[in-house]
Structure 1
Amino acid sequence: MGSSKVRVGMIGYQFMGKAHSHAYRDLPFYFDKEVEPVMQAIAGRNEENVRQAAEKMGWNSYETDWRRLIERDDIDLIDIVTPNNTHEEIAVAAAEAGKHVICEKPLSLTVEQAERMAEAVERNKVVHMISHNYRFVPAVAYAKRLIEEGRLGEIYHMRATYLQDWIMDPAFPLVWRLSKEVSGTGALGDIGAHSIDLARFLVGDIAEVVSTMKTFIKERPAAEASGGLSGMGSKDKVGNVEVDDTSAFLAHFENGAVGVFEATRFAGGNRNGNRFEINGSKGSVRWDMENMNNLDVYFHDDETGLQGFRKIHCTEEEHPYAGAYWPAGHIIGYEHTFINLLAELMDGIKEGFSPSPNFVDGVKNQQILAAIVKSAETRQWITVGGR
């Protein structure tokens, strides 16, 4: 029996557009799903660029107006990979048109926007997800299983860092990820949001936070041509940097655990240092995205003399998602995290539910981001979700 099709319309086509396009193309190769994606159309403002992107990435057609894409009868799912300040308008319009929605993180600029997005998808009964792809690393999903099974006991600590260094040069231009109007925050919302989502996924909801945020380089060349991660700077125009270069915060989880978090784009030598360690009464786990197939595991009841972290290579059938790929020991990469995420989305569309992380998670994550910003401004502990 053949699979039914989900016709995808993607808005945006740069870094995340490439990652999502690759995942749609390869998903049927690795996963046998009763619902499979069809790369129906892509939308972008520059006709020449979007036409080239459609041809290169395998989309059947293109539009230069995202509204036209949403209006099309041959689109079932809208994929939003545009800058943060556009998410609300597009997602609400898609939901009102009865389209399923997947949106890049963070969900929006503010809690209020996120709540309106969540209300729209729930009211229109469409399937929705937010693209926190790191939940779908086999090693991370296996860590979640160990925690749920009680193998680590009562959780005491989570410490997480997300360290990058790509904007350390003062001559790097003011791309949209460094614009408060477009992105909302800097390192906090761009990469810290991933650590926050992993914390909620692995440990539980966060009750309160206290934070500090700092901008090291307060002026940069204006961007004359740019994407989110690269651009050409003006020789005679500068702009003010209004977002954080680094953000650090402490967290109290609702279950009593304590969290320590750091997100920075000024950690020289770290290209994508997404890492965490979780300590419990019976054991610990730690993970590093730059060695994403490995999970370090420690159990307190190992015999004296053999205690210590052991390295688990999470490429076996027992590890979530790994069985869809290669024989044990044959590693997968960053791009496969998106395939795994979209495989869950296809199941959700078939069964009529919204897999986690979805817009409900997006709202909760946005509440934590807002509390972190408020804490840095007031220099006080802030309750998550408070107004």
Structure 2
Amino acid sequence: MNKKIRTGIIGASINNGWASGTHIPAIEHLDEFELTAVGTSNMPSAKKSAEAFYADHGFDNMEELAQHPDVDMVVVSINVKEHYNAVKAVVPAGKPIYCEWPLGSNTEEALEMQEWIASAQLPNAIGLQARQAPAVQYVKDLLAEGYVGKVLSANLKISIDGMGGVGDKSSAYLYDRKVGGNLLTIVGGHNLDAFTYMLGDFTELSATTAQQFPEVELVDIQKVIKKTTDDQIMITGKLTNGAAASVHIQGGVKHQTGLTLEIFGDNGTIVLSAPASIQFGSHQLRGAGSTDNELRELTIPDAYYSAPHSLYNDSGIVLNMAQAYRKFAKDIQEGTTLAPTFADAVKLHLLLDAVEKSAQTGERQYL
């Protein structure tokens, strides 16, 4: 058996709800990994977080964390505006890197980061963990096996209550286009990646975006800020298999309905639904094949669960992360490329660029 991969997480603060609620529980459930180091913005926080998460080391310097002999792999789980500098600091250590999505604040940053990784030939993974969700994997295989026959069309609708006209101080960056973390890149990125992973890439698309909330009230500090991001995104296009596709992503919905993906084929239908964005799990599947008279619930086979049994009842937030980590462990130890990589991230950044360009120019984009 391979030794455990000693992991250092940049951003593993007790105040970082994402890292502490996903990365750290996933590592705790997996035999392949152990958390040995945490990095935060200052030493008091680093020491406190290291103690809370039972890590041996706390750092306020990214280079020192990456270079430490007790760290075999580095995870970057901080604000997207800091990803570029973090990856730049970590690459010289010559260790595998897992970075949260979005990879960079823009495509230029993402391309440069991918070039660093490729030049150093480092195992790398991007945090597009929805691909590892059992439901997403199962739908991908059902389509490949011809469950619905020829895919005629697919439509995806996501509505969330956030990223509209109300937020707080900690989420203020989501409304600043320059930062690169917003409704299109975060919610759109995760969902479009899963959509194309299951169904195939867009070959052409048109997009319309709108900003229904020009200002955001930060309720905890009683401040109103200008908003430079969109809260309505609509995409139509064609996929590589010839299917027609439509995607509607909207934020700031008072009574949000979550996610619905409908896939229609000439012999059947699949419907995937969830209460929130696709990477958060809680997926429900219904389908009807060529011999069915109506839609029925589809049970996901156990083979699609690679995470430990202790996570089988998890909604998916930790489960999907654990499955992503398990695939990345194989990539590190066996030289495979099972987890999505920085190259996949660049491809997704380019897709989002095409969406923005179409929305800004009114011109159809061909990919």
Q: Contact 2:29–2:308 (CA<8 Å) still a contact in 1?
A: no
> Structure 2 regions of 5+ residues with no counterpart?
276-280
For residues 117 and 69 of structure 1, the distance between their equivalents in structure 2, rounded to whole angstroms, comes to 19
Partner in structure 1 of residue 249 of structure 2: 263
- Local SS of the residue matching 1:175: helix
Partner in structure 2 of residue 287 of structure 1: 272
Name whichever of 197-206 and 259-268 sits farther off. 259-268
Partner in structure 1 of residue 177 of structure 2: 180
Q: Contact 1:127–1:353 (CA<8 Å) still a contact in 2?
A: no
Partner in structure 2 of residue 16 of structure 1: 18
TM-score normalised according to structure 2 size: 0.89
TM-score normalised according to structure 1 size: 0.85
Aligned with 1:250 (options 223, 236, 252): 236
C-alpha displacement at 1:48, in angstroms?
3.4
Q: Does 1:277 align with 2:262?
A: yes
Partner in structure 2 of residue 81 of structure 1: 77
Q: Contact 1:158–1:199 (CA<8 Å) still a contact in 2?
A: no
1:179–1:258 CA distance, 2 compared to 1 (3 A): same
> Structure 1 regions of 5+ residues with no counterpart?
29-35, 224-230
Partner in structure 2 of residue 361 of structure 1: 344
For residues 299 and 144 of structure 2, the distance between their equivalents in structure 1, rounded to whole angstroms, comes to 20
Partner in structure 2 of residue 32 of structure 1: none
Give CA-to-partner distance per residue, 1:239-291, whole Å, 9 cap, x none: 321111221211221221221112222222237x2332222222221212337
1:58–1:219 CA distance, 2 compared to 1 (3 A): same
Aligned with 2:289 (options 295, 299, 322): 299
- Local SS of the residue matching 1:107: coil
For residues 15 and 289 of structure 1, the distance between their equivalents in structure 2, rounded to whole angstroms, comes to 21
Letter aligned with residue 113 of structure 1: E
How many residue pairs align between the two structures?
A: 356
Aligned with 2:48 (options 28, 46, 52): 52
What is the RMSD of the two structures over their aligned residues, measured on CA atoms?
2.4
1:323–1:74 CA distance, 2 compared to 1 (3 A): closer
Letter aligned with residue 331 of structure 1: N
Partner in structure 1 of residue 28 of structure 2: 25
Q: Does 1:333 align with 2:315?
A: yes
Q: Does 1:69 align with 2:65?
A: yes
Name whichever of 105-114 and 169-178 sits farther off. 169-178
For residues 206 and 95 of structure 1, the distance between their equivalents in structure 2, rounded to whole angstroms, comes to 32
Letter aligned with residue 370 of structure 1: D
Letter aligned with residue 172 of structure 2: V
1:371–1:65 CA distance, 2 compared to 1 (3 A): same
1:285–1:73 CA distance, 2 compared to 1 (3 A): same
Q: Does 1:126 align with 2:116?
A: no
Q: Contact 1:293–1:313 (CA<8 Å) still a contact in 2?
A: no
1:376–1:136 CA distance, 2 compared to 1 (3 A): same
For residues 9 and 171 of structure 1, the distance between their equivalents in structure 2, rounded to whole angstroms, comes to 31
Aligned 1:123-272 pairs, distance under 5 A: 123-168=119-164, 170=166, 172-173=168-169, 175-182=172-179, 184=180, 186-221=182-217, 232-233=220-221, 235=222, 238-270=224-256
**Percent of pairs identical after alignment?**
23
C-alpha displacement at 1:169, in angstroms?
5.1
1:4–1:299 CA distance, 2 compared to 1 (3 A): same
For residues 169 and 220 of structure 1, the distance between their equivalents in structure 2, rounded to whole angstroms, comes to 4
Q: Contact 2:165–2:215 (CA<8 Å) still a contact in 1?
A: no
